[in-house]
């Protein structure tokens, strides 16, 4: 495919910005990840030798724990976000009038643009030692200082912005599904719930996949939510990277962790996309 001179001129600014602010910094991170770190310095020396030590130390069980926990909690939050976001999107797309549909979409967008710190501290006040959740945890016999409760609060913090994103992503998908298909299934005797599970949801799989990948990517890169709500018990890889760069000034180690996390994220996303598209959508 040949591009016209006008198209090339339009592409040049965007490509230049990507090269300057994405590719070049990422290349510097890759280069820094192979440098040898000397304790007491801020980052590596200009003439520091190259080494694979920063990557080799990630095989340690402590580092693997961060990666596994980040993926596990992110996966749970993304699935729950889809389960909660799909009914919201369905009601807005199928049950609301055009006027109320605009109101609903505007409300979801407003939640998305709400400050993350405001949402996180609101959850901390609600589910903290002085919040209303203290009474409920006492009735259920759940310790507010336990690992399970802390993970639950972190997942709630992630859901606070995953649910609106999932709902907005699914709106277009649900609107593109012909409602007459469900009506035809019901006319042939299928219960409403069965018609939705056998027709509506399978036709929404591409949108569900997109919503899941967006949610999962945001979870993998989450920083503020686990740092504040995790209370040091639930920390993501992003928090470990922050510690390496800001607290220890070990730039090579932080760079290596960043590169590995980027590669693992791409691998997981590609694997999920491949499985869904080849074994579900085609079938």
Q: Is the pLDDT of residue 248 over 60?
A: yes
Give me the number of domains the chain comprises. 2
Phi/psi at 50 (nearest 5 deg)? -85, 145
Predicted TM-score of the model (pTM): 0.88
Residue with tokens 């369905």: 90
Q: What is the CATH number of the domain that holds 267?
A: 1.10.3720.10
- Domain region containing 211: 60-281
Q: Is the pLDDT of residue 201 over 70?
A: yes
Per-residue pLDDT at 280: 62
Per-residue pLDDT at 281: 57
Q: Which residue has the higher pLDDT, 126 or 138?
A: 126
Per-residue pLDDT at 184: 86
Rounded to a whole number of angstroms, the CA Rg of the chain reads 23
Tell me the pLDDT band of 1, cut-offs 50, 70 and 90: low
If asked whether residues 161 and 269 sit together in one domain, one would say yes
- Report the share of the chain in percent with pLDDT over 90: 39
If asked whether residues 73 and 24 sit together in one domain, one would say no
Tell me the pLDDT band of 282, cut-offs 50, 70 and 90: low
If asked whether residues 75 and 161 sit together in one domain, one would say yes
Helix axes 205-220, 61-90, angle to 10 degrees: 140
User: pLDDT tens for residues 85-115?
Assistant: 999 999 999 889 889 999 999 999 988 888 8
Per-residue pLDDT at 55: 92
| Residue 41 located in a structural domain | no
Q: Is the pLDDT of residue 182 over 90?
A: no
Per-residue pLDDT at 42: 79
Range with lowest mean pLDDT among 5-14, 40-49, 161-170, 236-245:
40-49
If asked whether residues 81 and 207 sit together in one domain, one would say yes
If asked whether residues 15 and 65 sit together in one domain, one would say no
Q: Which residue has the higher pLDDT, 137 or 250?
A: 250
If asked whether residues 118 and 190 sit together in one domain, one would say yes
**Cα separations (Å) of 120 from 74, 85, 157, 261?**
17, 20, 6, 24
Distance of CA 105 to the CA centre of its chain: 21
Asked whether 160 and 194 are in contact (CB, 8 A), the reply is no
If asked whether residues 102 and 200 sit together in one domain, one would say yes
Mean pLDDT value across the chain: 87
Tell me how far apart the alpha carbons of residues 20 and 18 are, in angstroms, rounded to a whole number: 6
Q: Is the pLDDT of residue 283 over 70?
A: no
Q: Is the pLDDT of residue 140 over 80?
A: no
């Amino acid at each position: 495919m040949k591009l016209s001179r006008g198209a090339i001129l339009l592409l040049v600014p965007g490509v230049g910005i990507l090269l300057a602010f994405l590719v070049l910094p990422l290349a510097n991170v890759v280069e820094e990840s192979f440098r040898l770190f000397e304790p007491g310095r801020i980052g590596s020396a200009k003439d520091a030798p190259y080494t694979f030590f920063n990557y080799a130390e990630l095989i340690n069980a402590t580092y693997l724990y961060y990666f596994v926990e980040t993926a596990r909690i992110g996966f749970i939050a993304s699935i729950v976000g889809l389960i909660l976001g799909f009914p919201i999107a369905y009601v807005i797309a199928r049950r609301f009038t055009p006027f109320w549909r605009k109101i609903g979409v505007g409300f979801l967008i407003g939640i998305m643009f709400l400050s993350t710190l405001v949402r996180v501290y609101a959850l901390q006040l609600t589910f903290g030692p002085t919040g209303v959740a203290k009474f409920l945890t006492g009735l259920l016999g759940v310790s507010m200082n336990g690992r399970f409760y802390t993970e639950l609060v972190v997942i709630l913090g992630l859901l606070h912005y995953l649910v609106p994103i999932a709902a907005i992503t699914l709106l277009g998908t649900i609107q593109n599904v012909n409602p007459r298909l469900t009506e035809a299934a019901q006319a042939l005797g299928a219960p409403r719930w069965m018609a939705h599970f056998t027709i509506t949801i399978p036709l929404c799989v591409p949108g569900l996949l997109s919503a899941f990948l967006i949610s999962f990517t945001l979870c993998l890169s989450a920083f503020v939510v686990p740092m504040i709500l995790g209370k040091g018990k639930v920390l993501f890889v992003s928090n470990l990277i922050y510690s390496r760069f800001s607290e220890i000034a070990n730039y090579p180690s932080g760079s290596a962790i960043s590169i590995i996390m980027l590669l693992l994220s791409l691998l997981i996303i590609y694997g999920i996309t491949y499985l869904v598209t080849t074994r579900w959508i085609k079938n």
